[in-house]
Amino acid sequence: MGSEDSDMNIVVTQISVGGFDNDVNAKMLSEYLEEQVGQVLRCRLKTSSTPPKSYPTYHIDEESMQRMNDYIRVEPHAFVHFASSGSANYALAAAGRNELILGGKPLKVSLGPGNPHCLDKKRTDEMPLKFSDVNVEIGGLVSNDDFVVGWSGPPTGVNFLVDRFDGTCKILFTKNTVFSFKNEARQAVIKCNFKIQFLTREINEIKECKDFASFVILLQLASSPLVFYRTADDDVEESVAFDLLDDDDQWIRTTDITCSGAIGRFNTYRISIRPCNGLNFAKAKKYFRDSRVPVVEPCNQRLRVRNEPNFGVPMPEPFFCIQYHDGISFKVLFLVNAVLHKGIINQHQMTNDFFTLLNKHQEGISVAALKHIFSFKRPVNDAVKKLEHIQTWLWNKLNLLKSTEESDDVVEVGGW
């Protein structure tokens, strides 16, 4: 969208264009602006938008739906990147004098960062660190070397960006999405861009994993990321091979895009990066360390990766929780779900051994143990072992307190 010069003045190279006919395509508009204004690097002619009174439906498989395009489309407009800021300013001035006429209609032009939705996107000319065609899997660690996958990203076309300007990390990809209409049985299938975004400071830990074919990292988040979409059934004309900043096309917040609710259930992202991105990978690790994110070097043991049971099966309920377990009281089960939703212990760690431990001790011990686990800031890799350790500590502490009540001796009890 722009950059900053030495005087800290914003240099804008992108404009938004409207006012042209429906039969104009991106190539026609790009060639006209190059002839009248200056070199155009990219032109995205926007012809798609979220249909009125519709919403994306992620639990419906788009491959089973017939692609329909009989919905009301947005008025065509375009986002144009010029090679220089002078061209962008000239286009704005020329449009103000009604000198840009395409197909008998005057073009309407506004500068990119002037869009009120994009005022926070003014940046320096430092580009994000981009990792192209990565593999992304969302899941959780059952143990130190056992990773369970709840959702896998598309096999191709997934990009991972580390943006040092605003301290964010982004996972970007494109896929067809089903849109349902309010009070109607029909659906529309529209190609959409998706963005999973989180702040660098929300990363608890980054762990490198041993792999022979690529760089593999595990990103462990403190909370669920933000998820956005925007329609992408657009006409794009691009004249350069290098990366450009994102268009001013507005992103829309959305819910969990995985039918199994993996974004809400898990907090660990396994990202496989191609070896050709080794230089950017080293820069990203340095940036994470400078941002005080713990980066754990790879160990000799390889990570086991497997799909969770019922992988890809839609959730029966919109909000995942454990509603009942034999012998477990409501008070204990409430805290089990609290620990689960905070991401300290994931559902695949809550085995029969885990619930047997909760039944083994009296309710007060289990309640105190779960409250203590809830205070943790990072996930537990071996939930059964950790729960047993805390319960034993609490039981010994309880016996010690009882013994001190029966004697006059003063005993100091150490904290956990």
Q: How confident is the model at residue 183 (pLDDT cuts 50, 70, 90)?
A: confident
Specify whether 165 is located in the same domain as 293.
yes
Whether 318 is in a domain gets the answer no
Mean residue pLDDT across the chain:
85
On whether both 295 and 226 belong to a single domain, the answer is yes
Residues 251 and 342 in one domain: no
Task: State the average pLDDT over residues 103-132.
Answer: 72
Please state the rounded mean pLDDT for residues 339-363. 90
Tell me whether residue 316 is in a domain.
no
Out of 100, 121, 142, pick the residue that ends a domain. 121
- 192 with 337, same domain: the answer is no
Answer whether residue 192 is part of any domain. Answer: yes
Is-contact 226 197, C-beta < 8 A? yes
In this structure, the answer to whether residues 249 and 340 fall within a common structural domain is: no
Indicate if 97 and 134 belong to the same structural domain: no
Domain count within the chain: 3
Look at residue 122 in the predicted model and tell me its pLDDT: 54
Alpha carbon distance 32, 28 (integer Å) = 6
Query: Is residue 416 situated within a structural domain?
Result: no
Please check whether residues 90 and 159 belong to one and the same domain.
no
Give the CATH number, domain containing residue 15: 3.30.70.330
Contacts (Cβ under 8 Å, ≥6 apart) of 68: 186, 187, 188, 189
User: Does residue 107 lie in a domain region?
Assistant: yes
Same domain as 206, residue 106 = no
Last residue of a domain, one of 121, 139, 157: 121
> For 8-12, 162-166, 266-270, which range has the lowest pLDDT when averaged over its residues?
8-12
pLDDT-above-90 percentage for the chain: 50
- Please indicate, yes or no, if residue 189 is contained in any of the structural domains: yes
Let me know if residue 322 belongs to a domain.
no
- Read off the pLDDT band of 416 (50, 70, 90): very low
Residues 346 and 281 in one domain: no
Residue range 162-174: mean pLDDT, rounded: 94
234 and 274 within one domain: yes
Q: Is the pLDDT of residue 165 over 70?
A: yes
- Check pLDDT > 80 for residue 71: no
At a CB cut-off of 8 Å and minimum separation 6, what does 89 contact?
A: 12, 111
pLDDT at 94: 94
Pair 100, 205 in one domain: no
Specify whether 295 is located in the same domain as 155: yes
Tens digit of each residue's pLDDT (9 = 90 or more) over 289-304: 999 999 988 777 788 9
pLDDT value of residue 388: 92
Confidence tier at 51 by pLDDT (50, 70, 90): confident
Listed range (74-78, 137-141, 262-266, 399-403) with the worst mean pLDDT: 399-403
Q: In what order do the strands lie in the sheet with 108-111?
A: 108-111, 14-18, 77-82, 40-46, 235-238
Is pLDDT at 141 greater than 60 in this prediction? Answer: yes
**Domain end among 272, 307, 342:** 307
- Residue 117 pLDDT: 47
Q: What's the pLDDT at 182?
A: 86
**Least trusted range by pLDDT, from 65-69, 195-199, 250-254:** 65-69
Nearest 5°: CA angle at 333, between 329 and 334? 115
323 lies in a domain?
no
Question: Can you give the pLDDT at residue 114?
Answer: 53
Domain with 176, as residue range(s), is 129-307
Cβ proximity of 80 and 30 under 8 Å: yes
